[in-house]
């Protein structure tokens, strides 16, 4: 396994445990895609580059160069020279024209993987990953493009990125820089994406691709509630267990595009990168632009294998936090309990009751700073409101700690309120177009994090609070999207750099935060789940999945999220009923069972809920700790899907050593004349026997996987069951 260059064939071969990726060179030096799929034992061949077919390569048939480029399966296509499909790179030179042509110059193969400057990216040691760098050059522009491929063999993952270097004397403008392209023949592919909206993020959508371009994208300055930086192409028969899947995910938290294009010749071009809208980067002589990383995987064993590839990869090679596998405290957040109406006494009352129930951390949400009694002021004024926190923050934290709980706090460091001391002092620190009044969302503007002094101020506000008291957890929120894209700091010809520089500023702050406070549990959030992406996972081991904690709505949200991301990365809490977003009532036990497929916590006023609900909390906390390690490390299997029009939902987490498995079954809607349902487990040892915990029932692994387990019928909506099978 690993990476080889076969000189006589001019082929690069990259192998993982189950897959092979082949790249070939034309006689002229065009870098082409040959194959990505099941592992090849041989070295492969370049006939899929179709260089022997009309119109042939330019060295044979220069008169038809453009038609050749328009059909060649290019690894990194460029615009303006004859390939009329979507390009990865558009470069405007000093004369004003757009056009670049990249030809192979050299390569290197090395153990390990280098960092991407200023960006989150996967990591691994020399035993985990091997990297291929292909150096291409446009000799006219004196532009070098380094295509980077890192192979994580055990996870069946290949990451891709590009580095653009201006080695000439011209001042160039990069008007588009994508990170990855995959050209291949169409297999009647379906396209899978994860669209949504606030409170219903990442719902699985699947449909056949058509001629032309189909894409998902965001130009909102964040990966967004509405779309998601993920795309998969699956053969029509693909299920959880069978069929081919090609998938890409983007390690980036800002504007993106993920696109599939079916050409006139039946080929498919799959691309991913920073969205070219509102993007233009000045690349002066000697300067370098680093494109973010795209993560690619191929599965010949259905969506389930794709999912487990992603889960393993993100756990081992994106998430850095000591909480990746460590014990995370069960928390209670006061937001839905009090909103802005709280003080020290109310928080201590919640903490006291929470501690009695076994909850381990109190999180103080929005409203503790400035004059913040509603959402129209004080963002940017990160000083404690001592009318609410009457004895000061250090004393409050001390008193919560004395009750046996850790303390956490909410911030929204990227924002500024028009009604704030900060805005009155620095109105130019808000992102805005000169001469226009900027638009508000939630009565707030966005700080211009392309400015180093603004980044320093925002970071210092957070860090000063964390230095003042033993705070164990931060919820980092971002409650609005970007618009009025203008900076008072950037030059007129550099305004197209703002949105990417903004993300670099966010990443810089979070990198500084986790370095200065290495034991801090950081949870990212953006109005719920609008920035749930691999870029954020690099800094925080968990991300708030959605502001909707309704157990039934969460089934769909968490299914879509878990298609790509590990369960332990999904911020999931038990909320009050009627639910504050949809008004639905669900059993307290079901709310707990659904939240167990995530980080697990509470979003309610424990002092006001019914006694029978409060009495269930100690058992739920004990249940979380019992299954925590399994959920953090285990293999996830989707057994049934309510979102796919079944009346019930079911998933399983199996230990990697096949020693035990936890199955969660939720009967969403009862049906008349309904019989028992059979669910087919996965990930067990066929020859072993498994005992259903709490009963005397014993089954073989083979029975559970091939014959299935019979879930008894019951009356009632929103009823759930946990089944824990333990190997004898």
Say how far apart CA 55 and CA 34 lie, in whole Å.
18
Please choose, from the candidates 527, 620, 518, 629, the residue with its C-alpha nearest in 3D space to the C-alpha of residue 568.
629
Q: Where are the alpha helices (DSSP H) in 215-261?
A: none
Grade residue 339 by pLDDT with cuts at 50, 70 and 90: very high
DSSP string, 164-228: EEE-SSS-EEEEEEEEEEEEEE--S-EEEE---BTTB----EEEE--BEEEEEEE-SSSS-SS--
Catalytic option among 156, 381, 477, 605: 477
Distance CA 281, CA 163 (A): 13
- Nearest-angstrom CA–CA distance, 525 and 547: 9
The residues facing 25 across adjacent strands are 31
Cα–Cα distance measured from residue 658 to residue 674, given in angstroms and rounded to the nearest whole number: 32
At residue 222's C-alpha, the angle toward residues 275 and 314, to 5°, is: 95
Predicted local distance difference test score (pLDDT) of residue 672: 87
**What percent of the chain shows pLDDT beyond 70?**
100
Percent of the residues in the chain that have a pLDDT greater than 90, as a whole number: 97
Mean pLDDT, rounded, for 163-181: 98
Q: Quote the CA–CA distance of 330 and 359 in Å, as a whole number.
A: 5
Supply the DSSP string of 584-615, one letter for each residue: ----HHHHHHHHTSSS-EEES-TTTS-HHHHT
Q: What is the mean pLDDT of residues 530-552?
A: 98
pLDDT of residue 101: 98
- As a whole number, mean pLDDT of residues 458-474 equals 98
Task: Give the residue carrying structure tokens 């950037």.
Answer: 490
> What gap in Å lies between CA 95 and CA 92, rounded to an integer?
8
Euclidean distance between CA atoms 560 and 641, whole angstroms? 10
Q: Is 649 a catalytic residue?
A: no
DSSP assignment letter at 440: P
Angle, CA of 175, 77 and 282, to the nearest 5°:
20
Q: What is the mean pLDDT of residues 358-375?
A: 97
Average pLDDT over residues 74-92: 97
Helix, strand, coil percentages (3-state) for the chain, rounded to 5, are: 25, 30, 45
Alpha carbons 313 and 315: distance in angstroms, whole number? 5
179-212 per-position pLDDT tens digit: 999 999 999 999 999 999 999 999 999 999 999 9
Tell me the DSSP string of 350-405: HHHHHHHTT--EEEE-S-SBTT-SSTTS-TT--SB-TTTSTT-HHHHHHHHHHTT-
pLDDT for the residue numbered 213: 98
In whole angstroms, how large is the CA radius of gyration of the chain? 27
List the 689-692 sheet strands across, edge first.
635-640, 648-654, 660-667, 719-727, 689-692, 698-700
pLDDT tops 90 at residue 561: yes
Spatial distance between the Cα atoms of 428 and 432, rounded to a whole number of angstroms? 8
| Residue 708 region by backbone torsions, left for phi larger than 0, else alpha for psi between -120 and 50, else beta | left
Number of helical (H) and strand (E) elements in the chain, helices listed first: 14, 39
Of 138, 547, 576, 649, which residue is the catalytic one? 547
Which residues, listed in sequence order, are joined to residue 282 by a DSSP beta bridge? 173
Mean pLDDT of 449-464: 98
Residue 111 pLDDT > 90, yes or no?
A: yes
Supply the mean pLDDT for the chain.
Answer: 97
Determine the distance from the C-alpha atom of residue 322 to the mean position of all C-alpha atoms in its chain, rounded to a whole number: 19
pLDDT at 134 over 90: yes
Least confident range from 443-447, 560-564, 610-614, 670-674: namely 670-674
Task: Give Cβ neighbours of residue 425 (< 8 Å, ≥ 6 apart).
Answer: none
What digits encode the pLDDT tens for the residues 675-706?
A: 779 999 999 999 999 999 999 999 999 999 99
Q: Which pLDDT band, with edges at 50, 70 and 90, does 645 fall under?
A: confident
Does the pLDDT value for residue 674 go beyond 90?
no
Among all chains, which residue has been given the structure tokens 């891709």? 160
Domain 639-727 in CATH 3.40.640.10? The answer is: no
The residues, ordered by sequence, that sit 6+ positions from 704 with a Cβ below 8 Å of its Cβ are: 680, 681, 684, 690, 725
Extract the tokens encoding 437.
């009044």
CATH pick for 79-317 out of 2.70.98.60, 3.20.20.110, 3.30.70.20, 3.30.1300.10: 2.70.98.60
Residue 420 has pLDDT above 70, yes or no: yes
Establish whether 456 is a catalytic residue: no
Which residues lie closer than 8 Å to 581 by C-beta, 6 or more apart?
A: 199, 547, 548, 549, 550, 553
Looking at the whole model, is its pTM more than 0.85?
yes
Non-local (6+) Cβ contacts of 705 within 8 A are: 680, 681, 682, 684, 686
The string of pLDDT tens digits covering residues 509-523 is 999 999 999 999 999
**Sheet arrangement for strand 361-364:** 570-571, 542-544, 521-524, 473-476, 406-411, 361-364, 331-333, 601-603, 574-575
Query: Do the beta carbons of residue 438 and residue 431 sit within 8 Å?
Result: yes
Q: 462, 382 in Cβ contact below 8 A?
A: yes
- Considering the chain, tell me which residue range(s) the CATH 2.60.40.1180 domain(s) occupy: 639-727
**Residues 435-440, mean pLDDT to the nearest whole number:** 96
CATH 2.70.98.60 residue ranges of the chain are: 79-317
C-alpha span between 585 and 583 (Å, rounded): 7
**Residue in the block written with tokens 């069972």:** 593
Confidence of residue 643 (pLDDT cuts 50, 70, 90): confident
pLDDT at 673: 82
What is the tens place of the pLDDT at every residue in 474-502? 999 999 999 999 999 999 999 999 999 99
Q: What is the pLDDT of residue 1?
A: 65
Closest residue by Cα to residue 481 from 515, 433, 436, 531: 531
């Amino acid at each position: 396994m690993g990476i080889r260059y076969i000189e006589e064939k001019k082929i690069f071969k990259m192998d993982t445990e189950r897959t092979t990726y082949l790249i070939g060179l034309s006689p002229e030096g065009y870098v082409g895609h040959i194959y990505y799929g099941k592992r090849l034992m041989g070295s492969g061949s370049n006939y899929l580059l179709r260089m022997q077919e009309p119109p042939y390569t330019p060295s044979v048939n220069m008169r038809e160069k453009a038609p050749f480029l328009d059909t060649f399966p290019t690894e990194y296509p460029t615009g303006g020279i004859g390939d009329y499909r979507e390009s990865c790179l558009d470069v405007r030179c000093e004369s004003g024209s757009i056009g670049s042509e990249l030809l192979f110059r050299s390569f290197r193969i090395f153990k390990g993987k280098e960092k991407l400057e200023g960006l989150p990216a996967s990591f691994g040691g020399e035993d985990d990953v091997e990297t291929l760098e292909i150096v291409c050059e446009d000799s006219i522009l004196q532009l070098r493009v380094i295509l980077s491929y890192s192979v994580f063999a055990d996870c069946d993952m290949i990451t891709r990125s590009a580095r653009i270097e201006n080695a000439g004397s011209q001042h160039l403008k990069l008007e588009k820089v994508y990170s990855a392209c995959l050209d291949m023949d169409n297999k009647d592919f379906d396209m899978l994406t994860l669209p949504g909206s606030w409170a219903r993020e990442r719902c699985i959508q699947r449909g056949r691709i058509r001629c032309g371009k189909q894409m998902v994208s965001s130009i909102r300055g964040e990966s967004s509630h509405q779309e998601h930086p993920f795309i998969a192409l699956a053969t029509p028969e693909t299920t959880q267990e069978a069929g081919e899947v090609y998938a890409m995910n983007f390690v980036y938290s800002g504007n993106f595009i993920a696109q599939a294009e079916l050409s006139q010749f039946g080929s498919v071009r799959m691309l991913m990168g920073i969205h070219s809208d509102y993007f233009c980067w000045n690349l002066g002589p000697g300067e370098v632009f680093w494109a973010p990383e795209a993560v690619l995987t191929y599965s010949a064993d259905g969506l389930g294998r794709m999912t487990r590839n992603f889960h393993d990869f993100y756990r081992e090679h994106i998430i850095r936090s000591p909480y990746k596998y460590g014990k995370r405290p069960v928390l209670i957040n006061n937001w839905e309990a009090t909103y802005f109406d709280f003080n020290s006494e109310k928080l201590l009352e919640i903490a006291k009751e929470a501690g009695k129930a076994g909850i381990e951390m109190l999180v103080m949400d929005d409203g503790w700073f400035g004059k913040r009694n509603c959402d129209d002021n004080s963002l940017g004024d990160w000083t404690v409101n001592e009318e609410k926190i009457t004895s000061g923050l250090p004393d409050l934290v001390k008193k919560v700690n004395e009750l046996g709980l850790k303390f956490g706090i909410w911030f929204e460091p990227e924002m500024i309120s028009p009604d704030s001391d900060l805005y009155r002092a620095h109105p130019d620190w808000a992102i805005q177009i000169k001469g226009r009044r900027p638009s508000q969302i939630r009565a707030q503007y966005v700080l211009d994090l392309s400015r180093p002094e603004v980044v320093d101020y925002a970071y210092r506000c957070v860090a000063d609070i964390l230095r003042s008291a033993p705070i164990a957890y931060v919820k980092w929120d971002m409650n609005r999207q970007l618009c009025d894209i203008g900076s008072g700091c950037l030059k007129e010809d550099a305004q197209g750099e703002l949105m990417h520089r903004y993300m670099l500023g966010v990443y810089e702050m979070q990198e500084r935060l986790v370095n200065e406070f290495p034991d801090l549990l950081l949870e990212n959030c953006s109005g719920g789940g609008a920035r749930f992406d691999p870029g954020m996972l690099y800094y925080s081991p968990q991300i708030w999945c959605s502001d909707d904690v309704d157990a039934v709505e969460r089934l769909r949200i968490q299914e879509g999220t878990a298609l790509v991301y590990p369960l332990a990365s999904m911020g999931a809490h038990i909320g009050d009923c009627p639910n504050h977003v949809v008004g639905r009532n669900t059993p307290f036990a079901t709310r707990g069972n659904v939240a167990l497929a995530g980080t697990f916590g509470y979003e309610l006023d424990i002092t006001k809920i019914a006694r029978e609900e409060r009495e269930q909390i100690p058992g739920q906390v004990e249940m979380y700790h019992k299954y925590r390690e399994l959920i953090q490390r285990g293999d996830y299997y989707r057994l049934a899907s309510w979102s796919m029009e079944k009346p019930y939902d079911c998933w399983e987490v199996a230990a990697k050593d096949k020693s035990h498995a936890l199955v969660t079954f939720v009967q969403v809607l009862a049906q008349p004349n309904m019989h028992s349902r059979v669910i087919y487990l996965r990930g067990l040892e066929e020859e072993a026997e498994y005992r259903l915990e709490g009963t005397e029932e014993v089954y073989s692994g083979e029975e559970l996987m091939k014959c299935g387990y019979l879930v008894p019928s019951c009356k009632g909506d929103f009823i759930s069951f946990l089944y824990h099978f333990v190997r004898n």
